[in-house]
Amino acid sequence: MDYFLQQLINGITLGSIYGLIAIGYTMVYGIIGMINFAHGEVFMLGSFIALTVFLILAAAGITFLPIVLLLMVVIAMLFTALWGWSIERIAYRPLRGSFRLAPLITAIGMSIFLQNFVQVAQGARVKPLASQIQGSIAINSNVQISYMQITIIVTTFVLMFAFSALISKTPLGRQQRACEQDAKMASLLGVNVDRTISLTFVMGASLAAVAGTMYLLYYGVIDFYIGFLAGVKAFTAAVLGGIGSLPGAMLGGLTIGLIETFWSGYFSVEYKDVAAFSILAITLIFLPSGLLGRPEVEKV
């Protein structure tokens, strides 16, 4: 039972990171009906920006941990938000009225560009960072939850509820929901569709930056390739939970994280990805719209 509880804590922590990235996928799909396949690389950029900020602050002699962590998260969010805005302007807006495959191709191209840009700028070797948030709480003699894990879980759920409230109760959220239902009609009613879509990309990129910073602090090592696998897992989580649903994205992220962790702990770590994608396939056979998704109604 102790081993089960420890793996449960580890799985919720990993799933929280996947869930944060998956929210960005589901927000973009919900408003324009397309998948931003460069989103995993935005997550990777966020982790590199956070590491760069940490090194600059350390060189400047700023070592007070709360200030350092706050600046890492805020600056990473600002710069990745700019990248998210740029991706929308370059890869999506010019092709929004084109056939649906064109934005997909440009998003994949942007993903490859960002990977190679970081590889050239930072080098292909992994970048380590010593553990910054140390200590843990002992649940019993064999089960512990670290302060870093608590930070990740609490941050993730606070952001999920905050963004859910923003979308359901603010003017921007109403504009996003209007664009999701019918962008042309929303435009006729005075909604600035281009601005709303750009802000959605900015919000998704900001969440990816938080996830990237949490990943860096939790695992202590990053490279230019981490965005690919994390992006695929987060996309899987978004589809599993129900693409277009924020709670569904978080539920899907937690599900993928738990499947990976328990499979690695009780079976073979080499097949954890196979297990996660198999559960996805089985779920979509019986629930094509995902766990919390709504069936798509065809407009006529």
Tell me the per-residue pLDDT of 89-113, one tens digit each, with 9 for 90 and over. 888 888 877 777 787 888 888 899 9
- Rounded Cα distance, 188 and 202, in Å: 24
Query: For residue 278, what are the CA distances in angstroms to 102, 155, 271, 289?
Result: 29, 29, 10, 16
DSSP SS3 for 5: helix
**Two tokens at 201?**
């990309």
Residues 73, 206: Cα–Cα separation, whole Å: 9
The residue type found at 166 is: L
At 181 the pLDDT is 83
Q: Answer yes or no: is 223 within a domain.
A: yes
Phi, psi of 137 (to 5 degrees): -110, 130
Phi-psi region of 190 (alpha: psi -120 to 50; beta: other; left: phi over 0): left
What sign has the CA pseudo-torsion 82, 86, 87, 88? positive
N-terminal to C-terminal alpha carbon distance within the chain: 54
pLDDT of residue 242: 85
* Predicted pLDDT at 282: 84
* Confidence (pLDDT) at 167: 86
Name the stretches of the chain with pLDDT < 70.
Answer: 294-300
Residues 180-219, buried b or exposed e (16+ Cβ, 10 A)?
beebeebeeeebebeebbbbbbbbbbbbbbbbbbbbbbbb
User: Alpha-carbon distance 271 to 44, whole Å?
Assistant: 24
- Token pair of 33 as six digits: 């009906």
Element (H, E) at 222: strand 221-222
Of the candidates 95, 100, 68, 118, the residue with the CA atom closest to the CA atom of residue 225? 118
Q: How many domains does the chain fold into?
A: 1
Residue 300 belongs to a domain: no
Q: Is residue 247 part of a domain?
A: no
Residue 265 lies in a domain: no
**Six token digits for residue 207:** 């969440």
pLDDT for res 294:
66
- Please report the pLDDT score of residue 103 as a whole number: 78
Assigned token pair, 3: 């081993």
Burial group, residue 41, by CB count within 10 angstroms (0-12, 13-18, 19+): buried
Classify residue 274 as exposed, middle or buried by CB count within 10 Å of its CB (0-12, 13-18, 19+).
Answer: exposed
Give the helix/strand (H/E) hosting 138.
Answer: strand 136-138
Which pLDDT score is estimated for 202?
A: 92
Domain membership of residue 258 (yes or no) is no
Residue 221 lies in domain: 13-129+142-227
In a domain, 4, yes or no: no
Tell me if 257 is assigned to some domain.
Answer: no
Taking the C-alpha atoms of residue 10 and residue 48, their distance in angstroms, rounded to an integer, is: 23
Amino acid in the structure at residue 192: N
* 295 within domain boundaries: no
